[in-house]
Structure 1
């Protein structure tokens, strides 16, 4: 997160499936892909929370039909993936880092690159983010906001996806290793790459067969971006509620005055 939502570029083919877990530098990775592949990259968290309501609603619908148990489920999953991702050079972050087999079926020429970091640092970061995303009052506060009113349903849908993939476990080292095992199981060895954004352009350019660009490697602080997003959305929600309650109060006073014969 931390950047503006990107827009699809017609005719652009998905080349990279970013399969790293959230909080592994996925925003920096997305920007790097956009530079190297000269096209927009789809960062799940940014697109869902800062894009139009249809973004978040569509992922909720997809996850309600995943894992596909019928041909109808599979058709819905594939349809939504193509609607959301056609026109992008790459996709990163949730929920697509857990939809790798489905994406490889749709985009067989794409490679899979999983961003990584120190597992313990990842655990600490994810536990903080997970706690913030599940605050009990968020649904009420965010209800007046067109996109974010769907946030709690979105988090619940992704929670079920994670349980399906990793089991009913807390965010811990086993979770990390289970994701690694998942990728090694579903991705052909020659298509699977691992990348630490701290290593900069060199390894990534080698994976993609690109020259190192004459610009600094993008660095986005996801933690600060998430904190800022939560703060902004909560303030926006409370402001909307103040306006709504103020209007209701004014109407109520008007009705009372009318009935009282003022």
Structure 2
């Protein structure tokens, strides 16, 4: 995950729908697509957490139209996704990877590329977050911070909406599981025409990605090797420290006001 949100460019259009799950090299993939296609990539984690709060709120509004229950939901979802992804040459990670069908309709010439890795290694990287993460505690810590305070609301909306629709089953825990991998691949093969669906491992570097995109292999340019997990862990630790410092400041301010208010009350 990068530290700076990309900005859309008016004359650019989506050429790559990154359909890979989180923790499959999506940051490296996005950087590679941006270089090859000469335009900005929308990486969900980076954009969501490094943009003004209005951005994540807009996604929450859009996601709440899923599961689609009628034409009004379909139109709102279509228009909302187009609004937020116009001006990018590629997109990757959540929430875009949950809206492959809508993106294919909006950008019919785009190719769908699913980044992959060994499924067991993927789950081993996801499991500690899913099984040990405390969203309630984290949401309290982040509450004073703009944008980040909306993270729990966004998380709940997407679990109740499209992610839950695609990957959760009645009677199962309402959270990602190892089964999510197979269900995701099965979904892609069901909704994406065979000739438009590609699977790609970022460990393979430039050559297979360039072959998919039909562009020359860069010479003397190293393939971007970015660590999704490490970047996210660093970002969240930094954000947690900021949240705790903000709470400390709030408590000190409240205590100070209370102290001087009581002192003033004794004088009158």
TM-score w.r.t. length of structure 2: 0.94
Q: CA deviation at 1:67?
A: 2.4
Q: CA deviation at 1:167?
A: 2.2
Q: CA deviation at 1:127?
A: 1.4
Q: CA deviation at 1:172?
A: 4.1
Match of 1:259 among 250, 259, 265: 265
Correspondences of 1:241-260 after superposition (within 5 Å): 241-260=247-266
Distance 1:23 1:206 in 2: 23
The residue that corresponds to 2:238 in the other structure is: 232
Residue range with higher mean Cα deviation, 166-175 or 43-52: 166-175
Q: CA deviation at 1:53?
A: 1.0
Residue 93 of structure 2 corresponds to residue 93 of structure 1: yes
Superposed CA deviations along residues 198-236 of structure 1, whole A, max 9, x for unmatched, are: 000000000000111121000111111111011011001
| Structure 2 CA distance for partners of 1:152 and 1:172, relative to 1, 3 Å | closer
Q: CA deviation at 1:56?
A: 1.4
Distance 1:42 1:131 in 2: 28
Superposed CA deviations along residues 102-156 of structure 1, whole A, max 9, x for unmatched, are: 1111111111000000000001111123346543311111111011000111111
Correspondences of 1:50-65 after superposition (within 5 Å): 50-65=50-65
Distance 1:3 1:234 in 2: 16
Distance 2:79 2:39 in 1: 22
**Number of aligned positions between the proteins:** 262
Distance 2:122 2:199 in 1: 15
The residue that corresponds to 1:78 in the other structure is: 78
Distance 2:104 2:118 in 1: 27
Kept after mapping to 2: 8 A contact 1:9/1:40: yes
Which structure 1 segments of 5+ residues have no match? none
Residue 195 of structure 2 corresponds to residue 190 of structure 1: yes
Q: CA deviation at 1:68?
A: 1.8
Superposed CA deviations along residues 46-97 of structure 1, whole A, max 9, x for unmatched, are: 1001111122112211111112212221122122211210000011001111
Kept after mapping to 1: 8 A contact 2:112/2:198: yes
| Structure 2 CA distance for partners of 1:132 and 1:172, relative to 1, 3 Å | closer
Distance 1:131 1:232 in 2: 21
Residue 119 of structure 2 corresponds to residue 119 of structure 1: yes
Residue 184 of structure 2 corresponds to residue 179 of structure 1: yes
The residue that corresponds to 2:48 in the other structure is: 48
Distance 2:145 2:218 in 1: 40
2:42 partner SS: strand
Distance 2:222 2:23 in 1: 21
Kept after mapping to 1: 8 A contact 2:44/2:91: yes
Distance 1:143 1:44 in 2: 21
Kept after mapping to 1: 8 A contact 2:21/2:93: yes
Residue 22 of structure 2 corresponds to residue 22 of structure 1: yes
Q: CA deviation at 1:98?
A: 1.4
Residue 169 of structure 2 corresponds to residue 164 of structure 1: no
1:91 partner SS: strand
